Amino acid sequence: MKSGSCRIIAGRWRGRKIRFDGAVGLRPTTDRIRETVFNWLQPYLYQCRCLDVFAGSGVLGFEALSRGAAEATFIESNKQTAMSLRKNTGELGATGVVIHNDDALQWLLSVPDKQCFNLVFLDPPFHSELLEKSAMILSSSGILADDAIIYVEHGVGADISLPENWSCIREKRAGQVSYRLFTPVS
């Protein structure tokens, strides 16, 4: 397995690199996509509670923290990758971080209702059914704030079905990646 790194684009850790292991299927969101997404998210970031469901490198959650999020919860099933998340948390001196080395779907099914997230990142391995399954569980879990923003990333051309009560507020494509922002509608 080859390890890698990516840089945080803006905020208090601008330019800092986070390192990650080379776990199978780990595909950090590119700088180009993150720049666009976080420009979209800027009005929602200050003091928000974010959930990075398929954390991988953790670059989405760390970028959110760098730009003003109060808390980030990372869910990562790979033990080595979760250890990399812990190491990066320490090296950045990040606070408000919770890391769960757990299966994302199982975690979503067991999370207490009292947790409420304003921003959720759903970026599972492409070519899996994890996006649809996690979105459906998330939608019915009771852990989304009423004004939550959900970031979804998937391969272009993927036939996905997301909860009917999620309204797309922004979308774009870069190469073979499609990415969108959703918000739940009552």
The answer to whether 160 touches 154, Cβ cutoff 8 Å, is yes
- Is the confidence at residue 1, as pLDDT, over 60? no
Mean pLDDT, to the nearest integer, of 104-111? 93
Structural domain that includes position 14? 4-184
| pLDDT digits 0-9 by tens, 52-98 | 999 988 999 999 999 999 999 999 999 999 999 999 999 999 999 99
Q: Write the CATH number for 42.
A: 3.40.50.150
Domain count, the chain: 1
Q: What is the pLDDT of residue 24?
A: 57
Rg (CA), the chain: 15
- Three-class DSSP category at 100: strand
- Where does residue 37 rank: exposed (0-12), middle (13-18), buried (19+ CB within 10 A)? buried
Mean pLDDT across the chain: 90
